[in-house]
Structure 1
Amino acid sequence: MELIERALEFESRKMSHMSTSDRVAASREAKELILAINEIYKETKDTKLMDIMKLLTEKKRKIEKRLKGATDI
């Protein structure tokens, strides 16, 4: 499926040396992919889809962590 191919391509992309706007766009794209895959997962309960969603979620968290910056303690 095209959606799974897009998700795997997104997951394999390098995220170093990105500008802030690139990070925001990547975060939004990840969210879009996760939600689209989730709709398919609800119907099929395919474990491969869940694994892909987990990979995308982890990458999205890393991007958002970098966007928010380090917190001071």
Structure 2
Amino acid sequence: MSNMTTSDRVAASREAKSLVLRLNEIYKKTKDSELMDLMKRLTEKKRRIEKRLKGMPDLT
């Protein structure tokens, strides 16, 4: 994740969101705890990518 361009980060964030939404539909039917864990891991990675995209807040 460290050598990604901005466009790579945007694409990865969108893909993660899409995956989580699709996994959520399956989770609603199966209630599989492994799927929930996977969704949590994907969401955390997505948040890190988005945090990197937004950058540091101005302190002025």
Asked if 1:59 corresponds to 2:45, the answer is: yes
Tell me the percent identity.
Answer: 75
Q: How many Å apart are 1:16 and its aligned residue?
A: 1.0
TM-score (norm 2): 0.95
Which structure 2 residues correspond to residues 18-37 of structure 1 after superposition, within 5 A? 18-37=4-23
- The reply on whether 1:17 has 2:38 as its aligned counterpart is no
**Partner Cα separation in structure 2 for residue 72 and residue 42 of structure 1:** 41
In the alignment, structure 2 segments of 5+ residues that lack a partner are none
* Aligned residue number for residue 29 of structure 2: 43
Flag as ranges the 4+ runs of structure 1 deviating above 4 A: none
Letter in 2 for 1:46: D
Larger CA Rg, structure 1 vs 2: 2
Q: Give, as a single letter, the amino acid of the residue that structure 2 aligns with 1:45.
A: K
| Number of residues of Structure 1 aligned to a counterpart in Structure 2 | 59
After superposition, the CA RMSD in angstroms is 0.6
Rounded Cα–Cα distance in structure 2 between residues aligned with 1:48 and 1:61: 20
